Chains A and B, each alone.
Chain A
Amino acid sequence: MSATARDVSVAAVANARRRDRYSPIGWARGGGLAALLFALPMLAIFGAFSWYPIVRLVVLSFQHTNLIDPPTWAGLQNFRDVIEDPLFTTAVRNTAYFAGLALLFGYPIPLMAAVLISESRRLRGIYSALAYLPVVIPPVVGVMLWKYVFYEPSSVGLFNTVLGWFGFGPYGWLQSPGTAMPSLVVESTWANAGTTVIIYLAALTSVDRDLYDAASVDGAGLWRKIWHITLPQMRGVLLVTFMLQIIGTVQVFLEPFLFTSGGPANATLTLLLLVYQYAFGNSVGVGFGQAAALSLMVAVFLALFSVVFMRLTRSWSTT
């Protein structure tokens, strides 16, 4: 390389470094300021209503407070109190049971519904709307409907009336430790399946129809098409909804709170209901520290679960 050529290349590198060097004016001129201004409202709202409460929660989990006097530092005492509470084990067990049952019923049903709806050419819109309808009903109204119409324990309850025709019942659906949790799962599946059905329907539209035609030519029936084409093509969406379902069901609160208050005999006491009981139950405001500690434990568990799940399923996902 000649001296001139070396000089030119040195100058080019120097220019490039100069360009890379951070300069506020350069950043502003380059559109950084405008981007920041656009993001500012979102940052302010998220900061005030999401991040600040999260930080407060973390701080509170290490404190004692009565909402009047300045909080005092409690170290890990709140976490110890939660772990030593016999109801914690009960709540973990119940939450796992709810999540497991919800997975069993709530995961395949929307998928089957979506596949069946997508097969229907003429009434697809109506079926989709019907599937989504429960999501539109306010959750509290939905729970009240199920509690006082379907699960009414006397013989006038809808389920008990139907079973009565065949000489069964009446059953106290929500009043027996054996049936209370499955009853909650059935209502929860009814209430939430619509959203997942819509997601699956959207995903199904992206599956190449030629694959089905090719499979038909090869003599594949409906089940083989679903197993060998639909499910593999949708695996990215299926994995994401699986993870979201676990996150959602571990945080179940509304159903046990409104249906049973955690009863009978703590059979439907879930982790978030226990958080509520710590914060608002008997101690009128002095159990906020324990409530925050348990909330943090649930959040950390779900975050870890999400990370591990994403890593484990990375190679299976198409997205």
Chain B
Amino acid sequence: MKSIFRAMTLAVVVTAMLLVVGAGSMATAGQQAKVTISVAALRPGSSDEAKKQFNDNVALFEKQHPNIDVKATEYAWNGATFAAQLAAGRLPTVFTVPFTDARTLGEHRQVADITAAVKKWPYYKKFQKTIIAEATTGKGRIIGVPYAAYAQALHYNRDLFRQAGLDPNKPPTTWAQLRKYAKQISQRTGQAGYAQMGLNDNTAGWILTTVAYTLGGRMETGRGTAATATLNNKYTVQALQLLKQMRWTDNSMGATYDYTWPTINQAFAAGKIGMFVNGSDIYTFLVQAANLDPKIYGIAPLPLAKNKTAGVLGGGSIAVVRPDTKGAKLDAAMKWIDFFYMEKLVKKTAALRDARILVANQQPVGVPAFPIFNKKQYDLANTWIKPYINVPLKQMNPFLKGIFKQNLYPEPAASTQSVYHALDPVVQSVFTDRNANISDLLAQANEVAQKAIRDGK
């Protein structure tokens, strides 16, 4: 009897222990299955419609992936904020960076290595080599997913063109013509005929580099810390001479010379600028955050000099993952990148879904971009969404017809931001000093850039 009682007691204890352990492990499995990721959402100040469009995408993604919770955070790439967020461990799981910075971040291991995950995607091999190279480190590791590419373009105000007696369907095709148009706009409308970013935040150097590329110049040769700075090439001198003439001889650039990326877009949307250079994809920002009247908008390819090396500077955006993301969280992050950024470029159903959400929320569909994969795929994706395209395509015709005939070149590969930063004061000197010595200024800038390249900064 005693032994039966002992056996029963033992059985009860063992069963109870098994139940407890089993319940615990089930609970753990349940917790592991639910993953929360934070994702970079829209720029601060975006319209309510844009926010709703983003939230609709989040809701759909969560429906498709019930075990993933997506937390959206407002986001705009900024080197300063990035460093602070990185140091504090407060980066979103998925965020975006421009082509300009991605490789530097990858070389410093400040974003996650996602080589294995990207290579699993069925469309991995379709990436244009030059585009995926923007997200690949010197050691061949993939640290991001390029999802949008653009070519630098000339944006112009069709209304100011008309007021100045110019044909808005015939934007300038040479720099000499652009200079003439700028003068005409300035004289007849009182607004800046041509404006250029000029703040000491690398944007001044970026646009100068763009203009130098169109004339045939390059800012460096070689790669990595062995690259040679060539900021003082004859084409950069030419680009600065052109700027100097428009600023001081023609007086066609208005009164503001310290524009930066958002402020020049806002001034353009407000009708204060006739022409300016920026990425071909800024229409979305102009509509979402600068309240642009689409009727005034025009876009054209940049004028190219007639020489073999003249080309257009390209750029774009790359989705990256914070450096400490691993396991299920990394899987979830890659699924979000695939869903939100990539699917619409390769799957008809996804492209249509995205276009429908954008249209329902009064957001632009069909903004001029540059192919991430090949041109055939790009054209195919555009035919899928044709019924939903709501941007003023006719006004974008000069760009759409001309851009694919131009050669697109990547940004300077080594110490990109430092090269631009070294050029900032040169542009500012030309803007502010009638007698600025361009050769001396460029020689100094070249020295500064060379040191930055050598130090890997």
Mark A residues whose CB is within 8 Å of B: 66-69, 81, 86-87, 153-155, 170, 172, 174-177, 260-266, 269, 276, 279-288
Contact = CB atoms under 8 A, between A and B. Distances in A.
A36 B258 CA distance: 55
Contacts of B433: 177, 265
A266 B427 CA distance: 11
B202 A265 contact: no
B109 A175 contact: no
Given A66-B110, A261-B199, A265-B432, A284 B79 contact: yes
A172 B432 contact: yes
A-side interface mostly: loop
B279 interface: no
Given A67-B83, A282-B418, A287-B457, A263 B108 contact: no
Interface string B420-457: 01001110110111000000000010011000100101
Nearest to A266: B425
B82 A284 contact: yes
B-side interface mostly: helix
Interface in B313-337: 323
A285 B255 contact: no
A172 B432 CA distance: 9
Contacts of B82: 284-285
B258 A174 contact: yes
A283 B86 CA distance: 13
Nearest to B204: A263
A174 B432 CA distance: 10
11 contacts: A68-B110, A68-B323, A86-B447, A154-B254, A261-B258, A265-B428, A282-B79, A282-B452, A284-B86, A284-B108, A286-B108
B49 interface: no
Interface of B: 79-80, 82-84, 86-87, 101, 104-105, 108-110, 198-202, 254-258, 323, 415, 417-418, 421, 424-426, 428-429, 431-433, 444, 447-448, 452, 455, 457
A175 B254 contact: no
Contacts of B415: 282
Contacts of B431: 175, 264
B417 A282 contact: yes
Contacts of B255: 153-155, 170, 172
Nearest to A259: B258
Contacts of B448: 86-87
A264 B428 contact: yes
Contacts of A263: 198-200, 258, 424-425, 428
A283 B110 contact: no
A66 B109 CA distance: 8
A144 B86 CA distance: 29
A176 B432 CA distance: 5
B257 A281 contact: no
Contacts of B424: 263
Contacts of A287: 457
Given A175-B431, A280-B84, A282-B421, A153 B108 contact: no
A247 to B, nearest CB: 25
Contacts of A177: 432-433
Contacts of B198: 263-264
Contacts of A67: 83, 86-87, 110
Minimum-distance CB pairs A-B, first 8: A280-B80, A263-B200, A285-B83, A282-B417, A264-B428, A261-B200, A154-B255, A153-B255
A264 B256 CA distance: 12
A266 B200 CA distance: 8
Contacts of A66: 108-110
Contacts of A69: 109
Nearest to A291: B83
A281 B432 contact: no
B78 to A, nearest CB: 9
A284 B104 contact: yes
A266 B428 CA distance: 9
B421 A285 contact: no
A154 B256 contact: yes
B109 A281 contact: no
Nearest to A171: B255
A282 B457 contact: yes
B99 to A, nearest CB: 14
A132 to B, nearest CB: 31
Residue from the set B86, B425, B426 with the largest chain A CB neighbour count within 10 Å: B425
